[in-house]
Chains A and B, each alone.
Chain A
Amino acid sequence: MKKVKKQEIQKLLSQWQQEFTVFVPSRENGVAEMVVWDGQDTGFLEWYRNTVVPPKENFLLNMEKMFDFHKADGNYSLEPTPAEDRKQLIFGIRPCDARAISIIDMVFKDAYEDTYYLSRRENAVLVGMGCLNPYDSCFCTSLGLGPAEATDVDLMLTDIGDYFLIEEITDKGKELLAKAEGIEEATKDDENRAGEVKDAAVQKVTRKIDVGEIEKRLPASFDNEEFWEKISAKCVSCGICTFLCPTCYCFDINDEMLKGDGARYRNWDSCSFPLYTQMPMENPREEKWRRVRQKVHHKYSFYPMLFDVIACTGCGRCIRLCPVNWDITQTLSGLPAEAPAGTEK
């Protein structure tokens, strides 16, 4: 393993900046999110715990043009938006958010290959940074990952005091380091220190859910209208928990047209909104409890059915940012026990 002095981070980012558009956590725009590095500031190393806006926005833009169209002589012609050739380096991504991107990758390369998303993914490298001070809303350890675990990234950094220990996870990651200056060989002591730090971080995640129990109880809860009505009562149906969820990937498609010229865009959409399922004659999820049920089932039941993985990494944003403190871990822990054996449904 390798290591780098903390004071060398600025130099390291500058080297990477030659080849990549480097993104780092920033609060400059008024909210914590990944923004293009200004070539100077490494102050985030002091305050950064996690961003409010998850780094999924680097791949699934909250607004993107898919193509232009022109109407002439009764015919439409399409002009595809040129593929982005920008190479992104996301520095400091947390394991929960990196795993989340791997999870939504599955959907974007499933039956239909989404070139908009995938081209950005292929052109990106993720440099992870262990989360040593998780929030009280975090519950990643219940979902099979650790706050400082090296996973779903190309390089993984762990704060061991004056240095960051660096684990090379992928070939892309190795390449990044091969060309970089200021990288030192890590000692056995450094590795042990990193191990201790990671273990300590795991202990700090105190919010727990029981995934095994949820897998058993959740499908059986589907028709329990009383349960879903009760737990959804205080939800205000805003889009915070879905838009800012690192694994929510729904989008809407809209055309903007003036006379014959226009463009097709897509933008984030949310199953919390009644409009999401509005159809000409009816809305199958008019009532709030149906929408809340959908969100929970999609993450913990439907997605595992399709891709064999829970679409939640326990990042805790939906709990931290909810204006009414609707807490998914309380809902999951409060799922009614399965009907006793032998009872007819």
Chain B
Amino acid sequence: MNETEQKLRNEARTLLEQGRVDCIIGYETGSLKFTTTPLITKDKDDTDRLVINPFVVNNLSVFLSDVDGKAGIVAKGCDSRSIVSLIQDQQVAREDVVIIGVPCSGVIDLDKIEKLIGKDRDELDDIAWDGDKAVVTIGGAKKEFPAKEVLMDDCLSCDMPAPKEYDILLEEVGPLVCDNELSRSRIKELEEMSPEQRWEFWENEFSRCIRCYACRQVCPACFCKRCFVEETEPQWISPLPKWQDNLIFQAVRMIHVAGRCTDCGECQRACPVNIPLRSLSKKMEEIVDELFQYKAGTDKDTPPLMAAYESEEAEDFIR
């Protein structure tokens, strides 16, 4: 256990003991190698299981609407932006949440490690940071990879690794490896395609969507109690997993989360059939920034982007 984890456990325990929160939402060690899993608890003794490591992938703000009372929540930079966005949308009251900000130097993308090594994650012995290199141990041999080869794409373009909105900040954020160009390399490939090629690309990708809705369920910006896909009177899209309907579902979802999406990357990570959803959400985030100079979840006191209108606002989005 490292120093940050000890501090986190102490803070979480104190919050529960002092009755400042009713529950804690954090991470504990998962049941598989290199995983963590959400820990949602009211029991102060459970706080001894809290961890912080390079595998804290989940955006825990998605659980805020599930819990009763006040919640103490562990948040990386992107997660804290999701919380702020939920506050802007009045889904969470600021006074009902105690944000425990944690340092984040980016989380490790196990898919990338698997590709680099040619082995599955459960066949590896260890993955650890050594400065700005990830050291992977397999069968006693060690292999080193520069951070930018193993970090999640969304982490590579992260410019707010430290939570801006917090109640407790555990420690200053470590050095962050950024490479925006690498982070958006798949988007660039798509931008360079002709519309016909892009259409064909997405037809292929959405042909294997099974409509499990994991992308929606792990997304904190998808907070609607009723989603258009489940409406039957009238029916907006077919519940059958035809690629056209799959695409429409995702396109509408993306537009609904415009101005709320913080590029936490959870939709893409959760997808069991590897649809590169972040190529849509990141692009959309860029468009929002370009047209409205707006970054989701950075100021809890401004109205949500899509709920506000100013007369001098750009209208060239109609094109």
Contacts and interface: CB of A to CB of B under 8 A. Distances in A.
Interface of A: 29-31, 49, 52-53, 62-63, 133, 135-137, 233-234, 236-240, 243-244, 252, 254, 256, 265, 267-268, 270, 273, 275, 288, 319-321, 323-327, 329-330
A323 B37 contact: no
Interface in B223-263: 230, 238-242
4 cross-chain pairs, A with B, having the tightest CB-CB distances, nearest first: A239-B212, A323-B270, A238-B214, A325-B37
A interface SS class: loop
Nearest to A253: B239
Nearest to B67: A233
B218 A238 contact: yes
Contact of A254 (B37, B39, B240): B240
Contact of B240 (A244, A256, A270): A256
B32 A137 contact: yes
A31 B273 CA distance: 5
B274 A31 contact: yes
Contact of A325 (B36, B212, B239): B36
A268 B211 CA distance: 9
A249 to B, nearest CB: 15
Given A325-B30, A325-B31, A240 B120 contact: no
Contacts of B123: 133
B213 interface: yes
B242 to A, nearest CB: 7
Given A238-B218, A239-B210, A31 B239 contact: no
20 contacts: A29-B207, A30-B204, A137-B122, A234-B37, A236-B217, A237-B217, A238-B213, A238-B217, A239-B210, A239-B211, A239-B214, A240-B212, A267-B240, A319-B31, A319-B32, A324-B37, A325-B31, A327-B30, A327-B37, A330-B31
B40 A234 contact: yes
In this complex, the member of B40, B41, B239, B275 whose beta carbon has the largest number of chain A beta carbons within 10 angstroms is B239
A329 B273 CA distance: 24
A9 to B, nearest CB: 21
A254 B239 contact: yes
B60 to A, nearest CB: 9
Interface string B268-288: 011011110000000000000
A252 B230 CA distance: 13
A135 B120 CA distance: 9
Contact of A234 (B38, B211, B266, B273): B38
A267 B210 CA distance: 10
Contact of A321 (B33, B66, B239, B272): B272
B62 interface: yes
A30 B273 CA distance: 7
A265 B239 CA distance: 10
Contacts of B36: 325
B63 interface: yes
A238 B212 contact: yes
Contact of B238 (A256, A270, A319, A325): A256
In this complex, the member of B58, B210, B216, B238 whose beta carbon has the largest number of chain A beta carbons within 10 angstroms is B210
Given A31-B272, A137-B122, A233-B66, A327 B31 contact: yes
A320 to B, nearest CB: 7
B122 A136 contact: yes
B37 to A, nearest CB: 4
Nearest to B35: A325
Nearest to A268: B210
Contact of A267 (B38, B213, B241): B241
Q: How large is the interface on B (under 10, 10 to 19, 20 to 34, 35 or more residues)?
A: 35 or more
A38 to B, nearest CB: 16
Contact of B33 (A136, A233, A270, A288): A136
A288 B66 CA distance: 10
B203 interface: no
Given A320-B32, A324-B38, A62 B62 contact: no
B205 interface: yes
A137 B34 CA distance: 13
Nearest to A133: B123
A244 B238 CA distance: 21
Nearest to A274: B230
Interface in B33-71: 33, 35-41, 58, 62-63, 66
Contact of A323 (B40, B214, B238, B239): B214
B199 to A, nearest CB: 17
A267 B270 CA distance: 22
B58 to A, nearest CB: 6
B237 to A, nearest CB: 11
B279 to A, nearest CB: 13
A133 B39 CA distance: 31
A252 B235 CA distance: 15
Contact of B205 (A30, A133, A135, A326): A30
Contacts of B238: 254, 256
Contacts of B217: 236-238, 323
Contacts of A135: 120, 122
Given A267-B241, A320-B32, A49 B120 contact: yes
A234 B62 CA distance: 10
A30 B122 CA distance: 21
A238 B271 CA distance: 10
Contacts of B94: none
Contacts of A234: 37-40, 63
Contacts of B164: none
Contacts of B300: none
B273 A53 contact: yes
A77 to B, nearest CB: 23
A268 B40 CA distance: 30
Contact of B241 (A62, A133, A326, A330): A62
Given A30-B274, A273-B213, 13 more contacts: A29-B208, A63-B241, A63-B242, A233-B66, A236-B214, A240-B272, A254-B238, A267-B211, A268-B210, A319-B32, A323-B266, A325-B31, A325-B35
